[in-house]
Amino acid sequence: MNSEVKPKETQVIAELYDVEDREILDSPSLMEEMLRGLAEEVGEESVHVHVHEFEPYGVSGFLMMRKGYVAIHTWPEHSYATVNVVGFSDETWAWNVYKALVKLFKPKQQNAVEVKSGLDRS
């Protein structure tokens, strides 16, 4: 009997500070373009993309893919964004997507933690 414990989900929760491309933080069209490009970058098909614009500024973006999803909320007035990347079953997927996202946002600083949920004994 295999006693390996595997998570059902791996989540990367992150903060991006001093984002180089501030324009993307306040543009729904640029956020949508970036999310669709992110899916291509990681070799995934985007199942669903939704972007919501806040007043007076800021956007939230959501990208659903077959292996997981990405949720982003921005504060352009602070050059700041929060990111959640959730991978289903593949423990490395969330980190790979997060690393690709960081390359697109180009933050000067970042902070990320990992949460594994739905632990299951195989």
Give the Å distances, CA to CA, from 115 to 5, 13, 70, 83, 90: 14, 8, 15, 13, 13
Q: What is the pTM of this model?
A: 0.89
Residue 88 lies in a domain: yes
Give Cα 70 to chain centroid, integer Å.
Answer: 4
109, with CB counted inside 10 A (0-12, 13-18, 19+), is exposed
What pLDDT, in 10s, does the model give residues 51-103? 999 999 999 999 999 999 999 999 999 999 999 999 997 889 999 999 999 99
More confident residue, 121 or 14: 14
The total of structural domains in the chain comes to: 1
Residue 121 lies in a domain: no
Range of the domain at 78: 5-116
Residue 80 lies in a domain: yes
Question: CA 5 to CA 13: how far, in whole Å?
Answer: 21
